[in-house]
Amino acid sequence: EPEVTQTPSHQVTQMGQEVILRCVPISNHLYFYWYRQILGQKVEFLVSFYNNEISEKSEIFDDQFSVERPDGSNFTLKIRSTKLEDSAMYFCASSVRASPSSGANVLTFGAGSRLTVL
């Protein structure tokens, strides 16, 4: 069964450093997402990406965050200057739907990248 793969599985970084989390979505999927889960809290939507641009973002996704699809397979989340509160599990997801208003948007998630900021 096709999978969404994420690397690294765990990254430890110092506050203020830049971090790039990588994702390889399912090959025929058109929509890409990042979610995060701070320990003990809900899974929160960060951003969605379609046709090489951000389609929607949450209030969490401020100027320190950016996303990119640098080639035909990878989808990355960059955190420019990490803060302690960025410590979380970050999930990448992808979906196949061509139109989000035309029915259920079923997301396939990766295993997550755990980010620890010291």
Partner 1 sequence: AQSVTQLDSHVSVSEGTPVLLRCNYSSSYSPSLFWYVQHPNKGLQLLLKYTSAATLVKGINGFEAEFKKSETSFHLTKPSAHMSDAAEYFCVANTGGFKTIFGAGTRLFVKA
Query: And the tokens for 30?
Result: 């058109």
33 lines the binding site for partner 1 (CB under 8 A) = yes
Q: How is residue 94 written in tokens?
A: 């992808």
At residue 44, φ and ψ (nearest 5 deg) are -120, 140
Strand partners, 116: 12
The rounded distance, in Å, linking the Cα atoms of 106 and 118 is: 35
Q: Does 18 bind partner 1 (CB under 8 A)?
A: no
Q: Does 7 bind partner 1 (CB under 8 A)?
A: no
Q: Is 2 in the site for partner 1 (CB under 8 A)?
A: no
Token reading at 43: 């899974």
Of 18, 4, 8, the closest CA to residue 89 belongs to 8
Query: What is the smallest separation between the CB atom of 87 and partner 1, expressed in angstroms?
Result: 17
Site membership for partner 1, residue 45 (CB under 8 A): yes
Please identify which residue in 34, 61, 90, 91 interacts with partner 1, judged by CB under 8 A.
91
From 12-20, 22-30, 79-87, 96-104, give the range in contact with partner 1 by CB under 8 A.
Answer: 96-104
Q: Identify which range of 16-24, 29-37, 64-72, 75-83 contacts partner 1 by CB under 8 A.
A: 29-37
